[in-house]
Amino acid sequence: MNNNTQENNLKIYQKYLELIYYSNDIVRKYPKSENFVLVSEIKQSLYSGLRNLMYAIKSYNKQEKLKYLNEFDVNLNLLKVHIRLSYKYKYISIQNYHTWSTTITDICNMLGGWISSCLKR
């Protein structure tokens, strides 16, 4: 693995940690009634995504790496749905929705580049 790839992996990892911090701050403000449903689902998607991202970073086998990257992509898509629901039910403001969505889109773009680079090799 070259330095550029490692640097990009580190960037996506750092960006994802920022997403986790932001998400945890936001979900604290949700109604208590959502703690076992939507909040739980959001956290599940976040931490499952983190696990898949770490496995992908550590994996040397291309097929295995792609498997984890695709699972990570699924976690991000689930998170998008949870955020849309949060906005629809007015648990978050338009500002929160925009910030959250933009961060996830940035991570998705980085992930797309990473998947493409794996497929080229």
Class of 3-120 in CATH: mainly alpha
**pLDDT tens digits, 67-120:** 999 999 999 999 999 999 999 999 999 999 999 999 999 999 999 999 999 998
Q: Give the residue-averaged pLDDT of 3-15.
A: 81
Tokens of 34: 């959502």
**What is the model's pLDDT at position 82?**
97
Q: Give, in order, the Cα–Cα distances in Å from 56 to each of 47, 59, 83, 85, 100.
A: 14, 5, 25, 29, 23
**What is the model's pLDDT at position 79?**
97
**pLDDT tens digits, 31-68:** 999 988 999 999 999 999 999 999 999 999 999 999 99
Q: Where are the alpha helices (DSSP H) in 59-93?
A: 62-88
pTM: 0.91
| Residues 90/109, Cβ–Cβ less than 8 Å | no
Give CA–CA dist 100/121, Å, rounded: 32
Backbone torsion region of residue 90, taken as left when φ is above 0, otherwise alpha when ψ lies between -120 and 50, otherwise beta: left
Give CA–CA dist 16/20, Å, rounded: 6
Q: Where are the alpha helices (DSSP H) in the chain?
A: 3-27, 38-58, 62-88, 94-120
**What is the model's pLDDT at position 3?**
60
- Asked if pLDDT for residue 1 goes beyond 60, the answer is no
**What is the model's pLDDT at position 2?**
58
**What is the model's pLDDT at position 7?**
72
